[in-house]
Amino acid sequence: MTELNDKELVSLYKSSPQREQVFRVIIERYQRKLYWHIRRMLVDHDDTDDVLQNVFIKVWKNLDQFKEEAQLYSWLYRIASNETISYIRKRKEERFVRLGETEEIIEGLLCEDHHFKGDEIQKKLQLAIQSLPEKQRLVFNMKYYEEMKYEDMSEILETSVGALKASYHHAVKKIESYLKQQVLG
């Protein structure tokens, strides 16, 4: 079953009594990619696991209605992106955090995280990325870390290539500014 392409998997899922087996193959195929896509936005491992679990619950509930006009991969990334942004917004509402405390919280998460292997420069880059608005952070991560094409991002985020290029450009400028400020004091 692992040798089947995404279209064949979705078709088999919709028509087969072996749904759970097919779904496990989908999870195995995309779990790692989606985990890191979400993790770059949230930083925290436990939060990422929670959101990823919600993503796969949504996929399970809605895979029957998946219109195969889009690629499965794009659809999964769209769900993961939307769930991540919703989680960030919900978390902001739940934890009223004063400006300036956010950086301390993120730095604490990075320091405590045994999965984070970066040096001081990597930590500064992560702090710079986390300071971006949600959409810019999402676009930056998809382009910089995942090396995703703008056309694929456009399908996932349902926005124009031009808007994505502008968003990425602004994100890079903000990161550069943040890093210069950190280095110069």
What pLDDT was estimated at residue 33?
Answer: 95
Same domain, 115 and 48: no
Looking at 64, 96, 128, the residue that finishes a domain is 96
pTM of this prediction?
0.79
What does the mean pLDDT of the chain come to?
86
Same domain, 161 and 79: no
Range of the domain at 80: 1-96
What pLDDT was estimated at residue 100?
Answer: 46
Q: Give the pLDDT band (50/70/90) at residue 91.
A: confident
Residue 22: pLDDT over 90: yes
Looking at 47, 70, 96, the residue that finishes a domain is 96
More confidently predicted of 7 and 113: 7
Q: How far apart are CA 88 and CA 94, in angstroms?
A: 10
Q: Give the pLDDT band (50/70/90) at residue 131.
A: confident
Residue 55: pLDDT over 90: yes
Same domain, 54 and 11: yes
| Radius of gyration of the chain, Cα coordinates, nearest whole angstrom | 18
Q: Is 72 within 8 Å of 66 (Cβ atoms)?
A: yes
